[in-house]
Amino acid sequence: MRVLLAITGGIAAYKAVDLASILRKRKDELKIIMTENAMKFVSPLTFAAVGNAEVYTDEFEYRGLISHTGLSSWADVMIIAPATANTMAKIANGIADNIVTASALAFKGPKILVPAMNVRMYENQVTQDNLEKLSKYGWKIVEPEIGHLADGEEGKGRYPENARIIFEMESLFTKKDMDNLKVLVTAGPTREAIDPVRYISNRSSGKMGYEIAKAAVLRGADVHLVSGPVNIQSPFNVKRYDVESTQEMAQRVLDILNQVDIVIMAAAVADYKPLETAQQKIKKGLSLDLKLVKTTDILSEISKVKRPDQFVVGFAAETQNLLENARHKFESKSLDMIVANDVSRKDIGFESDYNEVTVITKNETVHLERMTKNEIANSLLDILLKEIVKKN
């Protein structure tokens, strides 16, 4: 994607350095423009080095193109981060007196504005009126956060997370083919306590479930994410519920079930738990005998109460007889779709950023070659949506 990143003269300009770095790492094509005041906070050289990008500071500069008209024609998306009250006022009223405002006036594509300033400046009615106008003119406004500001005041005006800006950029270019669909995704492992210190669990990182939740919300779905213990930031705009044990996950899933159209059970739940949980830490001895019993079978519980119009997806994490075991689970749990993956491989599956899966439905079996879990997630949703059409 070709990104035109504009920096204006606020203290949050230094945070945009990381945004430039993220865009470079994503392998987006990047060009940067800066106002004169922005250069008082961060030098163009810093952005050029971190973003591996050309930096333009003068609308009259010529490098084979007229800067503001050429750059605005080149880019797929324009991001102004941070956007000062002054810059927003100029753009809202068609003033083009520097490279950023001139480029904004000439730009016709998707565009993102990231206001960051003192809380009183942000809350001023003039600023709010300008934001309303800019939104009407097609700017996607990424609202500032509430918190401690650089000048020592507290309130709304903090520059948001750069991950949020990237999310909003991705959203602008993602097809909204899941609008009006409500989706429940489970992710991560569950833990079954042995005593207050120890537990039984598995190696699931939660990455696959989180990528599915993120892909679904980007495509317009209303997403509920029931998560076991993981070390992953929540995808933006999802409703997340943290649980620990399999029973807690089962209860939360069943509580939400009637609210959703699609259930995607990507979590790797613990299949067994201790018959008894010690109330105090068990002291180390020569040996320890644990009697284990089965945990709640969440998919079986779903199959008992699901509506005929609901679409349920299971996962089969196997180390042998992959397709045979997956097909048995598909039939025995009355699923609409199952995703089988070989977790014995080191290059995919648990803890990896990559996966390779086979998808089984009532109509077809599809093998998805090794790719990122983000790519797998979107491919799964593509198959799911086709199957929903067939089912209905």
Per-residue pLDDT of 4-32, as tens digits, reads 999 999 999 999 999 999 999 999 999 99
**pLDDT for position 73:** 95
User: What CA–CA distance (Å, rounded) separates 310 from 78?
Assistant: 40
* Residue that is written with structure tokens 């933006």 in the block: 236
HSE-up of residue 304 (Cα within 13 Å, Cβ side): 6
- By DSSP bridging, strand 337-342 and strand 354-361 are antiparallel
User: What CA–CA distance (Å, rounded) separates 199 from 113?
Assistant: 47
**pLDDT for position 349:** 80
Span 46-86, pLDDT tens digits:
999 999 999 999 988 877 777 888 999 999 999 999 999 99
- In 3D space, the residue among 354, 352, 351, 381 whose CA is nearest the CA of residue 366 turns out to be 381
Sorted by where each begins, the domain ranges of the chain are 2-172, 182-391
Choosing from 124, 202, 237, 325, which is the catalytic residue?
202
| pTM confidence score | 0.93
**pLDDT for position 64:** 72
CA atoms 259, 261, 265, 267: torsion sign: negative
**Do 146 and 158 form a contact (C-beta atoms < 8 A)?**
yes
Q: Which CATH superfamily is domain 182-391 in?
A: CoaB-like (3.40.50.10300)
Per CATH, 2-172 and 182-391 having the same topology is answered: yes
**pLDDT for position 351:** 87
Is 202 annotated as catalytic?
A: yes
Asked if the peptide bond before residue 235 counts as cis, ω within 30 degrees of 0, the response is no
The answer for residues whose C-beta is within 8 angstroms of residue 337's C-beta and 6 or more apart is 311, 312, 313, 314, 330, 359, 360, 361, 383, 384, 387
**pLDDT for position 65:** 77
**pLDDT for position 150:** 86
The CATH classification number of 2-172 equals 3.40.50.1950
Bridge partner residues of 268 (DSSP): 189
Span 184-242, pLDDT tens digits:
999 999 999 999 999 999 999 999 999 999 999 999 999 999 999 999 999 999 999 99
**pLDDT for position 48:** 97
User: What CA–CA distance (Å, rounded) separates 178 from 6?
Assistant: 32
Tell me the mean pLDDT in the region 300-316. 96
Least confident of 128-132, 149-153, 171-175, 374-378: 149-153
Question: Burial of 285 by CB count in 10 Å (0-12 exposed, 13-18 middle, 19+ buried)?
Answer: exposed
**pLDDT for position 173:** 97
**Do 97 and 104 form a contact (C-beta atoms < 8 A)?**
no
